[in-house]
Amino acid sequence: MKKQSEKPAKAHKKNRNVAIVGIGMTSLSSHKEDQNQPEMIHEAVRAALADAKMTLDDIDCIVHGNMELFEMQFHPDMWHVLGSGAYGKDEYRITTGGTVGATMVCAADNLVASGLYDTVLAIGFEKLQEGNTTGGITNMADPLWFRNIQTGALTGTTAAMMIDEFGAERAKKAAMKYRILMDKHAMLNERAHRRFGLEYDQAEDLMKTSPQLVGELRLIHMCSQSDGACAMIFTHEKRAKKVCKKPVWVRDHITVHREENMSNLYAFEKPEMTHHYAARKLFDRNGIKDPVKYFDVFEMYDPSAWWGLDWTREFLQLKGDEHLRMLEDGEFDLDGKLPLNPSGGVIASNPIGATAMLRPAEAALQIRGDAGGHQIKKEVRHALASGFGGTMWTVLMMLEKDLDW
Amino acid sequence: MAEFYGTTVADIFNTMPKRFKPEEAKEEDIAIGYECKGEGKWKVTIKHGTIKVEEVKGDLKGCATTIRAADAETFIGTTLGKIQAMDALTTGKLRVVGDVKLLMTLLPKIFVQYTVPEKKSSVVAKDIISTITERFRPDKAAGVDMKVGYDLAGPDGGKWTIVIKDGKCAVKEGLAKDLTVKMTMPAEIYVGMMLGTISGESAFTSGQVKLDGDMMAAGATSRFFNKFVDPNAQASEAEELITIKVTNSINCRFATGTAYGMWFKGLKEKKFLANVCPKCGRTQITPREICAFCRVRCNEFVELGPKGTITAADVVYFASPDPLTGAVRKTPYAMCWILLDNASAQEAFCFDIKREDLPKMKIGARVRPVWAKETKGTFTDLLYFELDK
Amino acid sequence: MTTMTCKKEDTTNCFVFEGKMALPNQYFVGRLGSKFIIALRDKKKILGLKCPKCKKTFIPPREYCHFCQTKIDENWVELGNEGVLVNYTIVRYLGKHLPKKVPYILGQIKLKGADTPLTHIVEGVDFKDVRIGMKLKAVFAAKTTNTLLDLDHFEPL
């Protein structure tokens, strides 16, 4: 089968190293009726500035983004200036679907690394309760052909494939274990939106009675719809070392798109998944032989329990049922070999335009040791974070505690 | 009866007939069962604009949809919106057997949202009547000449006549002889209607309000006055958070271009036309101008199928809006990925399968297309696929 | 299998389809915005927020001072219902989303006590007579829409 073009591995060459020096998040909840969009954004911006001990005067450029069509507001970057602080500064609006938060981190990293700007503020936000998410997502499909049957972000195909590969009992049990593990992590994270307090003995009951959405994808497996914002501040090595005690370094990142539209995803012969391709390329060019051993935490964009579980195999370059065994053996727990989504992940909180930024933000907090209730006990030096969107787009990035690679 | 958020489960059911909007439920014919653990069971029958709420002692019988709450807190909380219904459904504290979307679509449409009864509003009919002249809007009542009588029963009731003439409005005690229309009702119903806690429509249809005279005139009166604002409600003013609701509707046009145009030309002729990469030989459905792998233009088209094989299938239970029409889709339906005969192995395409074939559909099954009677070169030319027996 | 060729230049089979996109949405006005609208609606009063440091008063309301970033969300002041026209234009094109029937005057009105102008509709004055500096007063809407249009328009004093 035809593969995407293969070029020899080449790491990103940067003019200068870039560090995350400020992180701000709002709480994540189902409704934020007491704040309008600029006010919500400003809460995250203030928090990031306070974290970096900076003021808006220190910011040279702002990167702003969310999902197109979700709040049905045109030019949000313009009328959010009150909240973003972009008045009199360069501002770029980015919108790449679910990946947008991660794309903003890539953009901010590139803007600083290039030398064009010294300090960049990136802001991701979403108020999902203000729009019609499924309606909005449906509009990503080809208007002439696929839009009339598209179901937004809901698909049961992965569940069907996992059941086919591992048997119904093991697959369904694993998906529920994944779901409950994420809830257990969310219970430790005060900012998380949905914290149910689920116990493992509820798995049997929920996997049978939770309402079916598509195939074996049930309501319990699916992520939430949240309101919230995240802001991050990036600066170059020289300044970061001067102003910040615990800078977190952006080592490398990769973005992979597909060529087909969604309708072509599931034939008998399947092309290499973007997640697998992205991870393979990124690890190869950075000399990572065993990602499970190398990384201390993985913050993954997991829109559903089925997808989350399936994608661990792709991202971590695992074979056969290795990913299931890791889950079953507790290796994704906070004290496991590779803690997965200590924040509770996307299943717990999903303000989409901020979601993919929350992944590197949470990973960076883990490296700093500032995650709070969901901090991993052992030292975190190497972190992996992913974003997902559109027709299986992937952004994957590596963060480091030390400048020693 | 356990009390949560200042109210009980029984309160919610007792107020249901009052909150019912018969006009919105004209087409409905449904029985909904409710079970709230520790509180009881209720059956709500809605039939062509009528409603019957009954408490059931034994099993809930003859209910198309049953809603079960794990406890009173869940039931009251989700009714008031204090607990997200989606969260309660996710954790299984709220369970629906039957049609889940009923909760989100039908119920909000046919009922006025339940609110916790105010700690007995001190407003009485007289207070409202006394503000009538200051709420009068002469600009809306130009040329109107009418006398409206209110006969309000009960201890706080009374009889009043509102005279509207020459852009002026006056209130007189007692009922005039030559009334345009007379409205008779219990005083508390009038107060409830004016405060918006009781559906006016429901009060009229249920016969709690009796009309005598020109019905049209009765309906028109509200236009002549500004809304009554409860002076005692000032305290809760700070709590009010405004939400603006809009539906943005935009007309669009989509151009197919050459390659995609061939696909629609094919549909018109009841054929599947795919283009082929001259370098790797891959067929592309729907046709794309270039092969992204080889980066060359694909000008050659071949006919595929018409029969094919199912490679993957999704049965959809969650009703989402069809963005082309705005209508909510009927569930369940299936999205099938179909590999047409002669197509390259990774080029499936996704389409509907005949609803009747849903139970028998499986991966590997053979299917054939069903076309519209008249094909016009649009996406509606292909109706669905059906199993090829 | 028969093949056919279709070159890029051949536009015989290029179609154009009519489509539609209808997406319902809602906007949370927020705590400050709600207080502002409710005052318009129920009390027929126009409120602004004043920065105690810069002594500037903003309308519509905002959480932070534009100049010094001080939080000003508690510092409400009541503005007068009268003001001065500082800028205007006449809207003449037809658009289904416009709030009034065209043509109408869209003006910027600096209310008594405010430092920022409010953009709103001006009525009751001939297009040829409208001029910068003229004094205007607010006319409130009889029917609420829970938007800025609860203040219906401004007209000459």
Q: Which domain does B52 fall in, by range?
A: 9-110
Same domain, B91 and B135: no
In a domain, B247, yes or no: no
A251 shares contact with chain C (CB less than 8 Å): no
Paired tokens of A86? 């972009």
B: neighbours with 3+ CB pairs under 8 Å? A, C
Q: Tokens 């009731």 label which residue?
A: B157
| Residue A285: inside a domain | no
Based on the fold, state whether residues B141 and B215 are members of the same structural domain: yes
With CA atoms as reference, the chain A residue closest to C34 would be A34
Dihedral, B308, B311, B315, B320 alpha carbons, nearest 10: -80
Shortest CA distance from C60: residue in chain A: A82
CATH, residue A125: 3.40.47.10
pTM of the model: 0.81
Q: Per-residue pLDDT tens for A13-59?
A: 889 999 999 999 999 988 888 899 999 999 999 999 999 999 999 99
A42 part of contact set with chain C, CB < 8 Å: yes
Provide the domain count of chain A: 1
* Contact call for A34 and C23, based on CB within 8 A: no
B267 and B359 together in one domain: yes
Whether the CB-CB separation of B274 and B266 falls below 8 Å is answered with no
Is C18 an interface residue toward B (CB < 8 Å)? yes
pLDDT single digits (tens) B308-358: 999 988 888 887 766 666 666 778 888 889 999 999 988 888 888 999 999
Residue B237 has pLDDT above 50, yes or no: no
Per-residue pLDDT at A277 exceeds 60: yes
Residue A99 inside a domain? The answer is yes
B332, part of any domain: yes
Domain closes at, from B78, B110, B142: B110
Residues of chain B contacting residue A219, judged by C-beta atoms under 8 Å apart: 86, 89-90
User: What percentage of residues in chain A have a pLDDT greater than 90?
Assistant: 73
Asked if B145 and B63 sit in the same domain, the reply is: no
Residue B106, in any domain of the structure: yes
Instruction: Let me know whether B175 and B60 are in one domain.
Output: no
Tell which of B110, B140, B167 closes a domain: B110
User: Considering the domain boundaries, does residue A53 fall inside one?
Assistant: yes
The answer to whether A206 faces chain B, any CB pair under 8 Å, is yes
- B235 lies in a domain? no
Range of the domain at A57: 18-133+225-233
- pLDDT tens string C91-102: 999 887 788 888
Is A79 in the C-facing interface, judged by CB distances under 8 Å?
A: no
**Quick one: which of A69, A125, A132, A79 has its CA closest to A101?**
A125
CA distance B212 to B222: 17
Strand, helix or coil at C132? coil
Nearest Cα residue in chain B from C24: B247
As a whole number, the mean pLDDT across chain A is 91
Give, rounded to a whole angstrom, the gap between the first and last alpha carbons of chain C: 82
Helix (H) or strand (E) holding B12: helix B9-14
Q: What is the pLDDT of residues A301-311, one digit of tens each?
A: 999 999 999 99
pLDDT, tens digit, for every residue of A98-132?
999 999 999 999 999 999 999 999 999 999 888 87
Same domain, B362 and B276: yes
Do the chains contact at B335 and A143, CB–CB below 8 Å?
A: no
Q: Is residue A118 part of a domain?
A: yes
Whether A385 maps to a domain, the answer reads: no
Q: Do A34 and B241 touch (CB under 8 A)?
A: yes
3-class DSSP state for residue A34? coil
Same domain, B41 and B129: no
CB B131 within 8 A of CB B111: no
At A364-385, the pLDDT tens digits run 999 999 999 999 999 999 999 9
Q: What is the pLDDT of residues A83-101, one digit of tens each?
A: 999 989 999 999 998 999 9
pLDDT at A371: 97
Report the pLDDT averaged over residues A162-181. Answer: 96
- A88 in contact with C, Cβ within 8 Å: no
What ipTM goes with this model? 0.83
Instruction: Among B48, B80, B110, identify where a domain stops.
Output: B110
Say how many residues make up chain A: 405
Using CB atoms, which residue from A202, A266, A271 is nearest to B337? Answer: A266
Short-list A16, A101, A85, CA closest to A361: A101
Residue A89 burial by Cβ neighbours in a 10 Å radius (0-12, 13-18, 19+): middle
pLDDT band at B233 (very low <50, low <70, confident <90, very high): low
Residue B249 covered by a domain: no
The nearest CA of chain C is from the CA of B344 a distance in Å of 14
Express each pLDDT in A207-254 by its tens digit.
Answer: 888 888 899 999 999 998 899 999 999 999 999 999 999 999 999 999
Where along chain C do its domains lie? Answer: 30-156
Residue A10 banded pLDDT, cuts 50, 70, 90:
low
- Residues B35, B58, single domain; the answer is yes
Assigned token pair, B227 = 């809304």
Nearest-Cα residue of chain A relative to residue C21: A139
Least CB–CB distance from C146: residue in B137, B140, B242: B242
